Amino acid sequence: MPLLALTGGIASGKSTIARRLSDHGALVVDADAIVRDVQGPGTPVLAALAAEFGDDILREDGALDRAALAGRTFGDPAAVGRMNAIVHPAVRAESARRFSEAFAEDPAAVVVYDVPLLAEARAGDPWDLVVVAHAPAEIRRRRLIELRGFTEQAATARIAAQVTDDERLALADVVVDTAVPLADTLSQVDRLWRDLPRLIAEKSAARR
């Protein structure tokens, strides 16, 4: 019942890796989807966010206006910290529930937690393996501009708002290079899947 964390900076190709692992049979738990769920209308998290940042972060239908919340927090470390103090505990609790549910259904499952902000959350290391999707910041910036329609300024700001590549790579047990052609990236993921038992055993032995 291995539990893997998969992380990477924005536009790092993390979703490509997650899809490939899913193709191999892994159960992928999406942290971004959990964030949306715990911030849904009527949830304690959404009520706490509105109390902290104002009712105008809510749309008329009671749902979170993500752009409005981003406007209150982006580029303000203190505001981001207050937001994370509300959201992260709920996300951790829900992700743990989903992991337990997955392993109860299939004790042999390989569960992959697709979590962009692993380094930012600093939630300890319960993982059997940490996989980092890595491409240099300049390549990721270009992807944001060319593939997602970001302006150069917005792309640079989004990358700068995340932890550095060095901080993210320091967590890695396995690094998947996503700056190479897609076929090469997928080949790395295939090799990771094949080598999982050995990699997990080596990390377990190193912890002893």
Considering its fold, how many domains does the chain have in total? 1
Cα gap 65→91, rounded to integer Å: 19
Q: In the prediction, which pLDDT does 78 show?
A: 94
144 in any annotated domain: yes
Q: Model's pTM, two decimal places?
A: 0.90
138 vs 119, higher pLDDT: 138
Q: In the prediction, which pLDDT does 205 show?
A: 87
70 in any annotated domain: no
pLDDT at 124 over 70: no
CATH code for the domain of 1? 3.40.50.300
69 in any annotated domain: no
SS3 category, 207: helix
Quote the tokens at residue 71: 């406007």
Residue that has been written with the tokens 């050995």 in this structure: 198
193 in any annotated domain: yes
Q: pLDDT per residue over 137-194, tens digit each?
A: 999 999 999 999 999 999 999 999 899 999 999 999 999 999 999 999 999 999 999 9
The residue range of the domain holding 148 is 1-26+110-201
